[in-house]
Structure 1
Amino acid sequence: MTSLFDDSLRKIQFLFKYSGMHLELKSSKTIADIIRYRWLYIINFLWLNTDVIGEIFWIIDGAANGKKLSELTYIAPCTTLCMLANLKSIFLILSEDALTQLTKNLREMERSEDGSENMVKDTIIEEQRSFLNVVISALNFWNAMTVIAFSLTPLVLMAVEFRKTNEVELMLPFLIVYPFDSYDIKYWPFVYLHQVWSSCIVVLEIGGADCLFYTCCTVIRTQFRLLQHDFEGIISTNESEFQEKFLKLVVRHQELMRSVNLLEKMYTKSTLFNFVSSSFLICLTGFNVTAIDDVAFVLSFLTFLLMSLLQIFLLCFFGDMIMTSSLEVSIAIYNSRWYLAKATTAKQLFLVQIRAQKPCKLTASSYADVNLRAFMRILSTAWSYFALLKTIEKD
């Protein structure tokens, strides 16, 4: 059976390839090594952030010139998402050692299960493989639709305007300040393509970091479920056989906890910004959907809103999966017919059960746990901000 981890990595390889982040990280000792290995990421970083700087200047200039709140909030969600893409990619690159160790741990745990030939275990692995494939495929499709919606909206509006007035009015996907006239026909095609690729970079970097997170969470959850299955059937009449199995399961449990800690190290800082920014993203895009009259732009922001909701929901959902599956190890030990074992054997199982009752969890820099409760708090905060913006708009 093919490895769940490696099979899933192959499906998201293109996200890392075109963003320049890479999956199989290599040690970079000198600046020359970094440039040679990260040249595409550096180009994409500079490419994207020229637009981010222009967006910030547009917001500052708009506020200084008294533009409406709906106009100012038009570009703010895009700027926030660009900053999120920057942070996710940078923190992932800085966590090179943790990613290398986590990859090694997960592959070793999967190899240890290769020769088991257990129908129940095979079913567990295939269930998780199918689930992860559906999530990654759906996410890639929706991200692509979001990019297409924002990229094509100006062209559609230009065509509609030309049909009405028989004149061409040049438009761009995003409102950005440049040191030249971006609506001059000499520059407009380049600026248009520049903005489209910037939106692709954002989707590639966020999609790559998130899909790797989902993959690692799914593999860890799978290993927790396999561990539960083994603990449920550990009781044996042969004491020496029990001790051998028990020791291996305890080591596997410890490795899984280490793997969760490595995943926490990789994502904890970017997750904190993700939590904070998601409330603003959902609030601002929801406000734009209700404040903008143009149907084409409403549809663009509606896809953007759904993408933002899906992104933070999946982050919390997979974090919740880790917590739940680690807690279920305690239930599996309880179901292991421990009452048929000797007192010393039951005490050993009891110690593991006590440890399993403390869930393995991912956090946003220890300020909040990554679970479905956090998702509900983000929605609640976003609704509060949305209500405030609507009140300000009316005033």
Structure 2
Amino acid sequence: MAILENNPQTHQKRATIDVLLLCYRAYTRRIRKLLYLGGVLHDRKRSAVWSYIMSFIVIFMCFGQCIFMINFCRDHTDNLVLLSKIFGLTCSFIAPVLMSACFLVKRKKLIELHETLNDLFEQELASDRENKNVLATLHAFDRPSYLLCFILGSTTLFYVCPSMIFIVRQIVQHSESKIYKLPIPVKLPWLAPINGGPVFYLLCLYQYFTCWWMIFTIGSVDSLFGFYAFQISAILRAMSIRLANPRPNEVFSKVLGTCVETHHRIERCGRMLEDVWGLIILRVIIANAILMCALIFEVSPFTDLTINQIFSFISYMALKLLQTFIYAWYGSLITSASEHFREGIYFSNWPDSKLDRHMRANIILAMMQKPLTIRALKVSHVNVNMFTNILNTAMSYFFLLQSLDEGG
């Protein structure tokens, strides 16, 4: 035993496990902070009244912004490039509205999903103190979340920074002859001031707040889906490893019974995840295909572009590709982990174990069930094929817009 304790490889393994555990705790805290900043944090520790107030603020502010942009489009129906640009912005601002509304309607189910997955994950961590197989795929989920939030914030800054710099410069120079423009083109129901003033600055502050919600609400909801996908897939993979490599001090029949019961609860969590995020993912499927098409159409034929336009195009396209890919990839990882669990049961020595008739029936049913899949309102399966289908649809829409523009 002393030799094993002094083994450098053992110490290195324990250090790696401790680092992964710290990364998981940091990942959990970061998701919670993003949800708080995005106004969509729902849990039992937080007042339900305050959660509803914040969600309604996000909904009303972003929905009002969408109405003002649609009103602006009515005066520029002959400019297809401008219409495609405003349409992309409208789809981006409608996302926080939809996400906040879905979280409000499904609040109880969302809290139940969070508590169930958190309990199951902590139980799996406690049952495997030495290896922590449940944390093996952590970096495949937390790093894309970091990247998504960074690109989302950078894209928004690329869009609003030029107008912000212009306004600050005019204030510093005390210029009175310049015409001020709002960061986001809108048409208000009243006459908007164009020479500055308190009303103009309040409108700018309103638009900056809507950009804040767009960054943190979208970033937090997309990251939360990845967090739950990590917990589901990690628990299933850890259970499959436990079944394939049972420890000598464990009774295999008890381990198998616990895994089958946990699998039933995981399946229910999968259905809740699908119910809460179904409409959100469907919006991603439809909107991102159209937005990528509109973005390519807006900058084509890629000539006479400024540096800011080039960086905005690259960051926005990268954002839409990454957002689409992580949803598709996370869904595929859940399905793959479910298949590994079924294989883990099949190749374990459960036929030779002393199991009662009821437990054997549950095991057979678990092996006969289809792998756990996430679907967007039963319209599309959330997997890697969804990503390729969206890209194909985006290119089809682009060629259609190009033909309409040439025909006009």
TM-score range, shorter chain: 0.7 to 0.9
Q: Name the counterpart of 1:355.
A: 368
Aligned partners of 2:62 and 2:94 also within 8 Å:
no
Aligned partner (choices 140, 145, 152) of residue 149 of structure 2? 140
User: Is 2:95 the partner of 1:76?
Assistant: no
Aligned partner (choices 190, 207, 216) of residue 202 of structure 2? 190
* Larger CA deviation: 188-197 vs 271-280: 188-197
Structure 1 pair 91–148 and aligned structure 2 pair: CA distance change class (3 A) = same
Structure 1 pair 91–294 and aligned structure 2 pair: CA distance change class (3 A) = same
Counterpart amino acid of 1:23? H
Aligned partners of 2:178 and 2:195 also within 8 Å:
no
Q: Distance in 1 between matches of 2:253 and 2:353?
A: 12
Aligned partner (choices 384, 387, 400) of residue 375 of structure 1? 387
How big is the shift at 1:347?
6.8
Q: Name the counterpart of 1:164.
A: none
User: Is 2:129 the partner of 1:115?
Assistant: no
Structure 1 pair 183–160 and aligned structure 2 pair: CA distance change class (3 A) = same
Counterpart amino acid of 2:374? L
* Larger CA deviation: 210-219 vs 10-19: 10-19
Q: Name the counterpart of 1:131.
A: 140
Q: Secondary structure at the match of 2:141?
A: helix
Q: Name the counterpart of 1:22.
A: 41
Q: Secondary structure at the match of 1:62?
A: coil
User: Is 2:160 the partner of 1:151?
Assistant: yes
Structure 2 length as normaliser, TM-score? 0.82
Q: Secondary structure at the match of 1:113?
A: helix
Q: Name the counterpart of 2:174.
A: none
How big is the shift at 1:170?
2.9
Counterpart amino acid of 2:88? P
Aligned partner (choices 50, 62, 76) of residue 62 of structure 1? 76
Aligned partners of 2:160 and 2:184 also within 8 Å:
no
Aligned partners of 2:85 and 2:298 also within 8 Å:
yes
User: Is 2:337 the partner of 1:325?
Assistant: yes
Alignment of 1:35-46 (within 5 A): 36-46=50-60
Aligned partners of 1:5 and 1:106 also within 8 Å:
no
User: Is 2:239 the partner of 1:230?
Assistant: no
Point out where structure 2 has 5 or more consecutive residues left out of the alignment. Answer: 1-17, 171-176
Alignment of 1:158-197 (within 5 A): 168-178=178-188, 179-186=190-197, 187-197=199-209
Q: Name the counterpart of 1:52.
A: 66
Q: Distance in 2 between matches of 1:273 and 1:155?
A: 30
Point out where structure 1 has 5 or more consecutive residues left out of the alignment. Answer: 162-166
Q: Distance in 2 between matches of 1:265 and 1:3?
A: 31
C-alpha RMSD of matched pairs (Å) = 3.3
Aligned partners of 2:134 and 2:237 also within 8 Å:
no
Aligned residue pairs, count: 378
Q: Name the counterpart of 1:221.
A: 233
How big is the shift at 1:351?
1.3
Q: Secondary structure at the match of 1:115?
A: helix
Deviations 1:78-120 (A, max 9, x none): 1011112211221022111111211221122123224334544
Aligned partners of 1:4 and 1:125 also within 8 Å:
no
Structure 1 pair 200–89 and aligned structure 2 pair: CA distance change class (3 A) = same
Structure 1 pair 4–159 and aligned structure 2 pair: CA distance change class (3 A) = closer
User: Is 2:223 the partner of 1:211?
Assistant: yes
Deviations 1:286-312 (A, max 9, x none): 222326844123432332222112111
How big is the shift at 1:367?
0.9
Aligned partner (choices 89, 97, 111) of residue 100 of structure 1? 111
Q: Distance in 1 between matches of 2:41 and 2:391?
A: 33
Aligned partner (choices 263, 266, 273) of residue 283 of structure 2? 273
How big is the shift at 1:323?
0.8
Q: Distance in 2 between matches of 1:46 and 1:275?
A: 24
Q: Distance in 2 between matches of 1:94 and 1:230?
A: 38
Structure 1 pair 3–23 and aligned structure 2 pair: CA distance change class (3 A) = farther
Q: Name the counterpart of 2:213.
A: 201
Counterpart amino acid of 2:34? L
Counterpart amino acid of 1:273? R
Deviations 1:204-259 (A, max 9, x none): 211111111110000111001111111213598x9x93322221111111111111
How big is the shift at 1:321?
0.9
Structure 1 pair 126–329 and aligned structure 2 pair: CA distance change class (3 A) = closer
Q: Distance in 2 between matches of 1:183 and 1:298?
A: 28
Q: Distance in 2 between matches of 1:242 and 1:116?
A: 14
Q: Distance in 2 between matches of 1:342 and 1:43?
A: 57
Q: Name the counterpart of 2:98.
A: 87
Counterpart amino acid of 1:355? M
Structure 1 length as normaliser, TM-score? 0.85
User: Is 2:31 the partner of 1:12?
Assistant: yes
Deviations 1:130-161 (A, max 9, x none): 33331222122111111211111335678999
